[in-house]
Structure formats: structure tokens, C-alpha cells
């Protein structure tokens, strides 16, 4: 889809947190979500420090179905630890927030679609790229 070229990515936020990434090459941070993703990394670090827990490995960061996807390497012991439970909550919160932040500009956004492609966009970018707002129930 040629409009996908409009979606820029901030690799610096990922490079700055490379010690937590399993493989940087499989991740893309939409520019509009840079602050959200940077804050999530900081919150995860703080949670691990507070709980004297090792940092988890992040498998992938990306946009999927218009929302932030932040996948951790599965470790049953970590997932059920106090830090793991708190980190999952932080990821869930960031995912929910991403659905109201434009992936391109970082401005207020909403879920839009075009030819089966979903993206969270501000009204200006949605109009520019020909996306239609998805009505919420």
C-alpha cells in the first residue's frame, strides 16, 4: 500500500532501549507514538528496579490493527511475578492509549480504515490519506 510510506518510524527510541530488545530488526515504532513507547520502556525499567527484577526481553514493537503491540519474550516465572504482572498492566495501558494518539503526528487520533488497513490517525492525516473513521459503539 503506497500510503504506508507516509508512516514514518522512530528507530532511535528502539536503539536507546536495545538492551531490552531481543531483535531490533523486527520492531517499528511509529513516530507519533515515540513518546508513548519511550515512556513505556522507562516505566518497565522502573518497575523492574523497584521489584529487583531482571529486565524482560522485548520481542517486537509495532502497530497492528491500529494499536500498539508490544510483545515480550514469554517466561512463565517472570509473567507471574509481581514485576511481570505490573509490566503487563503497563503494556495494556499503553496499548489503550495508542488508540487515541495519531501514529504519524502524535496528536489526538481515532481508529480509521482504508482498504482493510487500520490506523490510528488524527483527522487531518486521515483526510489527507483517504482513511474513514471507524464509528465506536
pTM score, whole prediction: 0.89
The number of helices, as runs of H, and strands, as runs of E, in the chain is 5, 5
Q: Give the DSSP per-residue string, 83-101.
A: HHHHHHHHHHHHHHHHTTB
Cell of 32: 507519533
Q: What is the pLDDT of residues 46-101, one digit of tens each?
A: 999 999 999 999 999 999 999 999 999 988 888 889 999 999 999 999 999 999 99
The C-alpha R_g of the chain, in whole angstroms, comes to: 16
Sketch the domain layout of the chain as residue ranges. 2-99
Average pLDDT over residues 22-47: 89
pLDDT at 5 over 50: no
pLDDT at 121 over 60: yes
Amino acid at each position: 500500500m503506497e500510503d504506508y510510506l507516509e508512516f514514518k518510524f522512530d528507530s532511535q527510541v528502539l536503539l536507546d532501549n536495545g538492551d531490552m530488545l531481543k531483535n531490533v530488526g523486527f520492531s517499528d515504532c511509529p513516530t507519533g507514538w515515540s513518546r508513548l513507547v519511550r515512556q513505556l520502556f522507562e516505566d518497565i525499567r522502573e518497575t523492574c528496579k523497584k521489584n529487583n527484577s531482571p529486565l524482560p526481553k522485548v520481542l517486537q514493537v509495532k502497530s497492528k490493527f491500529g494499536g500498539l503491540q508490544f510483545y515480550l519474550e514469554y517466561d512463565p516465572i517472570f509473567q507471574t511475578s509481581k514485576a511481570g504482572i505490573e509490566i503487563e498492566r503497563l503494556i495494556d495501558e499503553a496499548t489503550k492509549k495508542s488508540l487515541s494518539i495519531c501514529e504519524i503526528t502524535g496528536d489526538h487520533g481515532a481508529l480509521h480504515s482504508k482498504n482493510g488497513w487500520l490506523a490510528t490517525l488524527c483527522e487531518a492525516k486521515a483526510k489527507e490519506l483517504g482513511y474513514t473513521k471507524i464509528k465506536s459503539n
